[in-house]
Homo-oligomer: A and B are copies of this chain.
């Protein structure tokens, strides 16, 4: 027998419901077809058709099939089911502490690139942050109030980057904090604040790393305002 109880939406069907919602059926009605849907979900039109039928049976969507497709509206039950899922994910990602810093983009002194691109660090970034950062840092000069708040970073759980030695010199350990960046009209979720581990001087700026060149993806120039939401690792 199948595991899920009768009348309960299974994971595949829920994924379809989410897709429909994202594509516009969340508020109001939205036109699609089984072949369209099958393509985005990477299943056959037959499967798409069957899943829509089942979502309708479960009372999660209302349908109006016409000659060239169908109009779909998500019911209150459907919205409720999606909201339950939303709540689960919020529990995962919103429970930690968050510290909001504000400041202006400033030109770094080029050191960032030198350090970040060292293989000894790069390897750890890939393993512990989940990506290889763009070889360079974005420097943000903090406002006075943010300078105060910056001290709170040490209370967050950090991702530790170990120091190492080369023939020439020693590279010290560092710590990273997950950060969400909010520019005027764009938002970016995959960045990290990075700072030397044992330094509490010069707290008037922070350095950011990310898989992308932040100046490009956020369309930033020197002096642009940026809000940085730092969270627990």
Interface residues of A, Cβ cutoff 8 Å to B: 3-5, 10-12, 14-15, 18, 21-22, 26-27, 41-44, 47, 76-77, 79-80, 82-83, 85-93, 96, 102, 127-130, 143-146, 155, 157, 182, 184-185, 189, 225, 227
Contacts and interface: CB of A to CB of B under 8 A. Distances in A.
Given A43-B3, A77-B130, A185-B146, A93 B83 contact: yes
16 contacts: A3-B41, A3-B43, A4-B42, A10-B11, A11-B14, A18-B92, A26-B96, A27-B155, A76-B127, A76-B130, A83-B93, A86-B93, A87-B189, A102-B184, A143-B184, A182-B227
A202 B144 CA distance: 36
Nearest to A130: B76
Copies of this chain, complex-wide, total: 2
Contacts of A86: 89-90, 92-93
* A-B pairs with lowest CB-CB distance, top 8: A76-B130, A3-B43, A11-B11, A145-B185, A86-B89, A11-B15, A11-B12, A102-B184
Contact of A76 (B102, B129, B185): B129
A82 B3 CA distance: 23
A185 B22 contact: no
